[in-house]
Amino acid sequence: MTISGPIVKYAQRLNIAEHKDILQKAEDLCQQISAESKFSVLKLSGSCQTVISLHLASKVCRRPIQDLKLILKSAGLSKVKYQNVLRNVESALNLEEVLSIDDICVQLGCSQIRQKAANSLKQYQATFLSKLSASRRDDVNFDKAIYPCAAILAAVKAEKGIRVDKNKLSDLGSTTKTELEKMAADIWAAQPQTPLNTPVKKKTVKSLVQAVLTRALENEEIVPDTPGKKQKRFNDDDEESDDDHCIFNRDDYEMWKQKILNLAGLV
C-alpha cells in the first residue's frame, strides 16, 4: 500500500515516521474515515483526520504516541475536543481496546497497586449494579478504558509515595483528566470506608501502677487490702511520722501489683 504525503508529513512531526506498520495502518484508517459518511458530522479538517488516524494506528500497533501536546498541536484542537473526536472515531471504527489493569500498571510503573485497583473496581461494579433493577443491569457496559484507569488512579490516591502520569493515564483511558478524576472519586466512594488504624500506645506497668497510686492518694486511703496488714487512713491533721511513708512491705506490694495487673488484663 502506498503511503500518502499527509500521513508521511504528520508521522514525521509526531516522530513515528520510522514505524512503517503504523503508517500503513494509519493510511487504511484515514481512507475508512474519508469513505464513510457517518464521519462527515464530525467535520474533521484534513490535518485532524490524519493525526487521529496516526494516533489510533499507533495504539493498534501497541506503540502509542506519548506526546499528547504534540498531537494536539498537530491536530489543531483543544484537548477536550480532541479527546471527544478521538473517542467517537475509535468507537465508530470498533477500535476501542480496554487494557487490563495489569497492562496499564506495567506501562505506568506502578505494579504494586494493581491488586488494590482490581479490588476497588470490582467493588465499584458490584455497588453500581446493586442499585439497578435486574432488567437494567444487562445494559451496563464496563468495557470502557476509563474504568481500569480510574481504578488505578483511585488506588494511587489511597497509597502514599506513589505517583503516576495523569496525562498518560487519561490518554490510555481515552478521556479527559477531569472525567478521570471524577470516575476515580466515584470508585473510591464505593469502597467500604474503614477508619485509619491509629496505633495505641500500650500503657506500661509503671504508668499503670503510678496511676493507681495517684488515685489512691487523692482519695486519701491505702488501696492494698493485704491479709495481716491494717489499712491505714490519714488526714491532713494527723501527725506525720516516718512510718506514714512505708505502709506495706515489698512482698505485699508485689502481691498487690500483680493483682492490679491481672485485673487490667496486662499479664
Span 161-174, mean pLDDT? 86
**Structural domains in the chain (count):** 3
pLDDT at 247 over 80: no
- Domain stop point among 46, 62, 92: 92
Whether residue 260 lies inside any domain: the answer is yes
Whether residue 200 lies inside any domain: the answer is no
Same-domain check for residues 143 and 176: yes
pLDDT of residue 195: 45
Find out whether 148 and 104 touch, Cβ atoms under 8 Å. yes
Residue 125's Cβ-count burial label (10 Å; 0-12, 13-18, 19+) is middle
Whether residue 194 lies inside any domain: the answer is no
pLDDT at 109 over 80: yes
Whether residue 196 lies inside any domain: the answer is no
Q: Which residue has the higher pLDDT, 254 or 232?
A: 254
- Domain stop point among 92, 123, 146: 92
pTM for this structure? 0.54
83 pLDDT tier (thresholds 50, 70, 90): confident
CA angle 106, 96, 133 (to 5 degrees): 100
CATH code where residue 14 lies: 1.10.472
Backbone angles phi, psi at 219, to 5 degrees: -85, 0
pLDDT at 186 over 90: yes
pLDDT of residue 210: 63
CATH code where residue 113 lies: 1.10.472.10
Residue 212's Cβ-count burial label (10 Å; 0-12, 13-18, 19+) is middle
At 31-42, the pLDDT tens digits run 999 888 788 888
Whether residue 45 lies inside any domain: the answer is yes
Note down the domain range covering 227.
Answer: 205-264
Find out whether 53 and 30 touch, Cβ atoms under 8 Å. yes
